[in-house]
Structure 1
């Protein structure tokens, strides 16, 4: 027997899905020396949308990412991700939260002694994702990496490792993706590749927050932007 959802309830669920991704309200964070990186900083990020955070080194981009991932908690204000105020989550529940979203740190987080296939497989298992070997092979083939599938990641270039991180997140299909400097040290062609994948994930419904310090990124992603230098 099927259950019909009243129209008003269906609209509420649809609206809730669109709106309840990431909300920052009056975030203030100070360094040990008392310098405030943010003061009453507020913004929100909805489904199927992208947001760029710009700033030079030392402006607080990486600190913001660490706050959003629950790695830094000595802040005031509210950070709500997927309807959860993350400051009040236990370490176990915060770890579970991180498994549900996609994130990429400034330095590539990869298993260097594993080959490409093993790397993606372990990442998906740790994220609680079900997958088949053929699905990984298909993703690598479609993106021009099939010839590297048995190659150890320690032998790949910086750009190739960054691209693999993006492919892993695409296979995970998370509602929220948080990236710290995904365009750092990439050539123009690889920046375009990453930007194209980001656009595809947003079209599929993911919300993406990405920090950057290279002005040319704006030539590849026409997304709303927050400038931390202002």
Structure 2
């Protein structure tokens, strides 16, 4: 399995979000993570993405766990993980090209401009590389975030409500591109409240608030 969560538990503000939570996402699979507000969907994505830590249990990416090693967590984020955030995750004052280059596993410049230009063309933003992110619409910013994933080609994609702020056309582009990543062998995990996104995903995991235990 590309992504495995094994007996995970997490508290937030003294409240137990979930415990003994286990699931996996294989290469080529899209799993929708759903549940009411307060069930810990975004927190779970942060733990899987090694931005936050579990209270107990383990996350394995391609069979490897970061454990307590910050260096190993950085390597796993750099080499395997890609993110698609509800707020797009761009640096507003940086150019489109510079935002796409953030987090690339290889920093070599050879061929980078070509790959960035190709990714922008694919998401309908050809020639916009020198624009500042803050000058783009919300839909255009999410397209830049998609282009960043296209350049990096991560093994695991974590998407947190990626369509919630978008119109129908941009939402469809996001889902089509995520499906393309899965077809190419990525494991895709999408946290969502949107019933249409849940229906689109191949598999669904529903979180329920656990309570104060």
TM-score range (shorter-chain normalised) is 0.7 to 0.9
Residue 102 (structure 1) aligns with? 82
Q: When you count helix as a share of all residues, which structure comes out higher?
A: 1
1:87-166 matches, cutoff 5 A: 88-100=67-79, 101-124=81-104, 127-128=105-106, 130=108, 131-166=111-146
Residue 53 (structure 2) aligns with? 73
Alignment match of 2:65 (pick from 60, 76, 85): 85
1:171-210 matches, cutoff 5 A: 171-210=151-190
Alignment match of 2:7 (pick from 26, 42, 64): 26
Contact 2:100 2:116 in 1 (8 A): yes
Q: Provide the aligned length of Structure 1 versus Structure 2.
A: 206
Residue 33 (structure 2) aligns with? 53
Supply the distance in 2 between the matched residues of 1:197 and 1:214 (Cα, whole angstroms): 17
SS at 1:84 equivalent? coil
SS at 1:26 equivalent? strand
Larger Rg: 1
Is 2:24 the counterpart of 1:44? yes
Is 2:195 the counterpart of 1:215? yes
How big is the alpha-carbon RMSD for the aligned residues of Structure 1 and Structure 2? 1.9
Higher relative contact order (CA 8 A, sep 6+): 2
Cα distance change of structure 1 residues 92 and 190 upon mapping to structure 2, 3 Å threshold: same
Residue 169 (structure 1) aligns with? 149
TM-score after normalising by structure 1: 0.82
Report deviation, 1:192: 0.8
Give unpaired runs (5+ residues) of structure 2: none
Structure 1 segments, 4+ long, off by >4 Å, are: none
TM-score after normalising by structure 2: 0.88
Supply the distance in 1 between the matched residues of 2:112 and 2:9 (Cα, whole angstroms): 44
